Amino acid sequence: QSALTQPASVSGSPGQSITISCTGSSSDVGSNFLVSWYQEHPGKAPKLMIYEGSKRPSGVSNRFSGSKSGNTASLTISGLQAEDEADYYCCSYAGSSTHVVFGGGTKLTVL
Amino acid sequence: QVQLQESGPGLVKPSETLSLTCTVSGGSISYFYWSWIRQPPGKGLEWIGYIYYSGSTNYNPSLKSRVTISVDTSKNQFSLKLSSVTAADTAIYYCAREGITMVQGVISDWFDPWGQGTLVTVSS
């Protein structure tokens, strides 16, 4: 059982927008901590897509955006493309002892 | 750019010690945090622990009694040892550089880049 809760799957058609939620608690997402998001294609290593809650690393499309409200962080992908089909994981700092926690992952299907 | 590569045995017997090394190329291991993360087949990600280039460490409480992470700055490498392994330790093991910032009391933590990952199977 993961510390952060993500929907098991989401889907959308090319060109549409989707949002993946990541719900935690006051010990992680809801605290003064910002979430990171990772994209994982089958057989590939995870790739950082969002850090510090809403920043994109160089090379990541501006179709990817991150936000947070209360105990829930969200990843929004606009203008869905076939190549966006992958698993997505959120991650939050969770204090000096636990350090970080991951979500269980969300499988995005582009219809 | 910085690249990471895991190496080590792909098969470990139950009760033995899993040992992996991550080699950092394209940049120095100094002044960064370096982590190990694993992913059991078909499951999610689990942070194992990190080491700072100076040698200070922090481990996942659920694995702390079995984990040792070390660093060799002269070789630009850091290593993972996980003792008394069982089938539950079968996973893809990734090494990654960890970024941690605190700005105006807000803490952010992320992993980038990652190694390609190595599958370690625990079986007799």
**Does residue A99 sit at the B interface (CB-CB below 8 Å)?**
yes
CA atoms within 13 A of residue A18's CA, in its CB half-sphere: 20
Q: Measured between CB atoms, which of A47, A51, A97 is closest to B99?
A: A51
Q: Nearest-CA residue of chain B relative to A102?
A: B45
Question: Is-contact B7 B117, C-beta < 8 A?
Answer: no
Place A96 in a pLDDT band, splitting at 50, 70 and 90: confident
Best residue in B33, B45, B100, B104 for a mutation probing chain A (most A CBs within 10 Å): B45
Q: How far is B57 from chain A (nearest CA, A)?
A: 11
Question: Is-contact A51 B112, C-beta < 8 A?
Answer: yes
Residue A83 sits at φ, ψ, to 5 deg, of -70, -10
Q: pLDDT tens for residues B87-124?
A: 999 999 999 999 999 888 889 999 999 999 999 999 99
Per-residue model confidence (pLDDT) at position A2: 63
Which chain A residues have a beta carbon less than 8 Å from that of B45?
A: 38, 46, 89, 91, 102, 105
Q: What is the percent of chain B where pLDDT is above 90? A: 93
Question: Is-contact B108 B35, C-beta < 8 A?
Answer: no
